[in-house]
Amino acid sequence: MGRLRYLPGSLLFTGWVLLSWIPFALVVLIVGVFSHRRAFAVARRWCQTVLTLGRWLCGIRCEVQGLEHLPERNTVVLLKHSSAFETLAELCFFPPQCWVLKRELMWIPVFGWALKGLKPIAIDRRAGRSAVDQVVRQGTERLRDGLWVMIFPEGTRTALGQTRRYGMSGVLLAQANGLPVVPVAHNAGAVWPRRGLIKRPGTVRMLIGPPIETAGRDPRAVTAEVQDWIESRVAELTGLPKATAPDQRRSSRKPE
């Protein structure tokens, strides 16, 4: 019964989100024909409205720490992915950006059309190396356009206290452009689970880490450092044991 007391607010919140994205997407679609920056501003306003409503109806607040760590020039940001919350928050708290996302999102009527105008990097997650090459190629174009490139290195949402092997495309993109990567950890999965209707009241803390240099380094080592930093911070925020990907656990039992 404890969780059910949060159901009315969660239902109202979810209903508003489902109804509101259509008019906002239409505005993004129209404005995007003339200006990506203005289309991004409209998308950001919608995300800000969603987070505000989430605070009023569901009691979800957000605190961001480490904004001073963001470099002066645009670069690649690698974020923990355990909820829908961070997909909204990144628009609110980071400079104009694009995202690496699954191409299936582009097939959603209206939403996908509007999303295309925001210059995402839409990949086939089953494409392997060609998907990585696409991220590096198109990501380089977006960086040259002045956008930040936001990547969820786990590739999909993971349950609270879990992780997957991090992909290297973000590190390879940063290396190709002589840039560092910026890691971001948070505890959003504790209040906004990746699956399930009910949202729990609480404070989401987003931690932006210091830039991690990539130049002249093994991309696997950089990716491992990013994962260690993010998963360690998530463990501190949630009080859960530090998550380790299954393949990392297996490899850790092998002799050196």
Burial class (CB in 10 A: 0-12, 13-18, 19+), 50: buried
Residue range of the domain that includes 195:
3-252
pTM over 0.85: yes
d(CA 128, CA 198): 35
DSSP H/E element including 54: helix 36-58
**CATH number of the domain enclosing 64:** 3.40.1130
Amino acid (1-letter code) at residue 169: S
* 183 three-state secondary structure: strand
**Tens digit of pLDDT per residue, the chain (256 long)?**
556 678 889 999 999 998 998 999 999 989 988 888 999 999 999 999 999 999 999 999 999 999 999 999 999 999 999 999 999 999 999 999 999 999 999 999 888 888 988 999 999 887 788 999 999 999 999 999 999 999 999 999 999 999 999 999 999 999 999 999 999 999 999 999 887 788 999 999 999 999 999 999 999 999 999 999 999 999 999 999 999 987 655 443 332 2
The bridge status of strand 181-186 relative to strand 148-151 is unpaired
Of 148, 153, 177, 175, the closest CA to residue 76 belongs to 148
Q: How many domains does the chain have?
A: 1
